[in-house]
Structure 1
Amino acid sequence: MGKKQYWNSEAKNARWIKEGRGQGAGSAYKPWLTVRDVPSEGRSHRVFGHLTQRTHHLLSDLELATFLLLQWRSTVTDIREQFPLERALTQELCTRLGVEHPNQRGVDQYMSSDFVVDSKEKDRPRFVLQVKAKKHLEVARVVEKLEVERSYWKEKEIPFYLVTEGQIPPTVFENINLLYNYADDSIDQTELSVPFELFRQQLPQHESLRLIDLCIHLDTAYSQEPGESLYQIKRLLALRYFHFDITTPFTKLRCSNLSAENTSVLQEGWCVPG
C-alpha cells in the first residue's frame, strides 16, 4: 500500500462512519481512506473507474496497477478500495493471535484492506486483495498485521490474497510511468473537450492504425507542432477519457484498442470531494 502512519481519534472515526465511509457499493461506495487522508510513499492517484462509474482513491503506483488490472478482468463487477474492517473483530483476533492491535495515542485504529472485489466467478463471488511491496514483507510488524487481516477474512469465509509487484506485468508499470505524470485532475475540463472530440471521431476511422501513427497524422493534418497530438492523447488516457487494456504496451496500441468514456460521468466523478 505504501501508506505512512496516520491516526484517527474516536471523534473522527464517528464522523467518518456518519459520512458513510466504507459503506455502499458501486458508484455509491465511499472509501474509508482517501488520498487526502493518508500521505503516501511515492504517488497517490484519484482515478475514475469505468466499471464503477466513480473516482477511486489509490495510495501507490502498485495499488493503481492492481486496480487497472482488476478493471480489465471480465468477471469483475465491483471494486471497493480502502475497505475498513470491523474493529471489534480485529481486536478479538489480535488477542487470539497474541499481537498488538494497531493503536495510536490510546485509540485502536480501524484496519483496512486495499480491495474488496465482487465478481461473476461462481467459486469466489467476492475476494480480497492486500497490496504490499516486497520490501515491506521483511518488516515483522507488517507481517503481524497481514496475519490479522488474513484471519479476519477467513472468519468471513472470503478468499484473501496478497499482491506484490512480482505479480504485476512489467508492461503495466511502464504504461503507468509513461502516462500518469499527465494525470492532473485540476485541469479545466473544457481545455480537453476539443482534443477529446477530435480523437473520438478519428479513432473509429483509423482502427488498424497504431495510435502513435495517428498522432503523427493529426499533427500534419492540423498544422500542429510535432508531438502535440501525442501529448494530448496521453493526457486523455491518463484522465480516463479513453480506457484501454493496461497490459498492452502504449507503443503498440492501435486505434481500435481505445474506448471512449461518457464525459458527463467523468466530470461528475472529478467533482467528488476527497
Structure 2
Amino acid sequence: MPVLKHEQTAKKLASLLEQGYGHGQGKNYKPFLDVIRVPSKGRVSRIKGWKTNRVHHFLTDSETRYFYLLEYGEFEGFQISDIREHYPLIEGMNEILPTLDEQLIKRLFNQKSGEPMVLVTTFLITLKNTNGDISYCARSVKDYRQLENSQIIERFEVMNRYWNFRGIDYGIITNREIPIVPAKNIEFIHSSYHLDEYGLREQEQVIYRDYLLKLIAESQDSTIKDIVYQFDSQLNTENGTGLLLYKHLLARKMLKVDMNKPIDLEQPCSEITIVDRGGSIDAFYEHVTSI
C-alpha cells in the first residue's frame, strides 16, 4: 500500500498539498504519488488515459493492469467517468480519528519521528448511472502476499473506516483477482485509441475506419493478418497502418472479439463481430465487472 512517509514532515505535506498534489478531477487531477518522486520495487508506468486525457502514474504491474480494465469496461453496471490514482486520505481524516483505537492511530504516524504519514488509496473511481447520477468507489490494489503483514492490514482497516465514513464503497484487489489476458489485450490496443496522435486527420480516420470494416465484412474467410496487409497495400499507406486501425476499432468497440482470449492476428474475420456504430456496445466480459 502506498504510504508517503520517507523523510516526511507536516511542513512537507503542506507544501505538496499547496502544489496541488491529490487535488483536482479529470484532466486536472494531480496524483499524490507519481513515478518521479516515489521509488518503487515494481515496474512503473506512465499511461495517457482514455477517460481523462492525462498521464496516469502507476508503481506496479498490478496497478497498471487494473487501470486497463477500468479504462475498457464498466464497473458493476455503471459507466466510469473519471479515474484518480493514488488518492490521499486527508480530507475528513480528523473526523474518524475518535473512532480509531491506539493501534490503528499508530499507522498514521512515523513511529520514529512522530511525523504524520499519509495513507493513499490506489484508485478513486467516479461512476455515472444511466440517469447521469454520480457516485464513487475506492479500491486498493495489493500483492496478495503482503496481506499477511499485520501493519498493512491495520492500514487497510483505517482506509475502510475512512471510506465508509464518507459513504463510499471500498475494497481491496489483489494481483490474484486481476485477469491477466484481458488486461494484456487492452494494453495491446490502448495506445491506438486516439488516431490523431499518429498524424491522421479526422477525414482520413473516417475513410480508413470504414474501409477496414468493409474489408473485414467482405473477407470472412481471411485472417486479420491478411486483411491489415491488404489494407496497407490497397490504400498505399505506411506499413502497420492497417494494424493500427484494427487495434483502434477494438479500442473504440466498433469491433468485438473475445477479450478473455489473447488477441490473435491469425483469427479469421468470420469470428469477429462488427458492432453497429449507432447501437449500445457491451464488449466487456463478465469476470472483470465482478471485481
Aligned to 1:33: 33
Report the Cα distance in structure 1 between the residues aligned to 2:213 and 2:96, rounded to whole angstroms. 52
Aligned to 1:168: 178
Report the Cα distance in structure 2 between the residues aligned to 1:229 and 1:218, rounded to whole angstroms. 9
Q: Which amino acid aligns with 1:202?
A: Y
Q: Which amino acid aligns with 2:81?
A: T
Range that drifts further, 110-119 or 73-82: 73-82
Aligned to 1:141: 151
- 1:21 aligned counterpart, secondary structure: coil
Residue 40 of structure 1: how far off its partner (Å):
2.2
Percent identity, please.
24
- 2:57 aligned counterpart, secondary structure: strand
Residue 90 of structure 1: how far off its partner (Å):
6.6
**2:13 aligned with 1:22:** no
- Structure 1, unpaired ranges of 5+: 184-189, 260-274
Report the Cα distance in structure 1 between the residues aligned to 2:50 and 2:197, rounded to whole angstroms. 21
Report the Cα distance in structure 1 between the residues aligned to 2:3 and 2:117, rounded to whole angstroms. 14
Decide whether aligned partners of structure 1 residues 85 and 191 sit closer, same or farther in structure 2, where only a CA change above 3 A counts: closer
RMSD of Structure 2 on Structure 1 (CA): 4.2
Superposed CA offset, 1:138-164 (max 9, x none): 222211111111111112121101112
Aligned to 1:116: 124
Count of aligned pairs: 246
Residue 42 of structure 1: how far off its partner (Å):
2.6
Q: Which amino acid aligns with 1:216?
A: Y
Aligned to 1:265: none
Q: Which amino acid aligns with 2:184?
A: E
- Structure 2, unpaired ranges of 5+: 217-222, 278-291
Report the Cα distance in structure 1 between the residues aligned to 2:18 and 2:249, rounded to whole angstroms. 33
Aligned to 2:56: 56
Report the Cα distance in structure 2 between the residues aligned to 1:140 and 1:83, rounded to whole angstroms. 22
Superposed CA offset, 1:78-107 (max 9, x none): 221111102535755554554522444432
- 1:52 aligned counterpart, secondary structure: coil
TM-score when normalising by structure 2: 0.66
Decide whether aligned partners of structure 1 residues 102 and 196 sit closer, same or farther in structure 2, where only a CA change above 3 A counts: farther
Structure with max Cα Rg? 2
Decide whether aligned partners of structure 1 residues 4 and 230 sit closer, same or farther in structure 2, where only a CA change above 3 A counts: farther
- Equivalent residue in structure 2 for 1:217, among 197, 210, 230: 230
Range that drifts further, 125-134 or 62-71: 62-71
- Equivalent residue in structure 2 for 1:85, among 79, 84, 89: 89
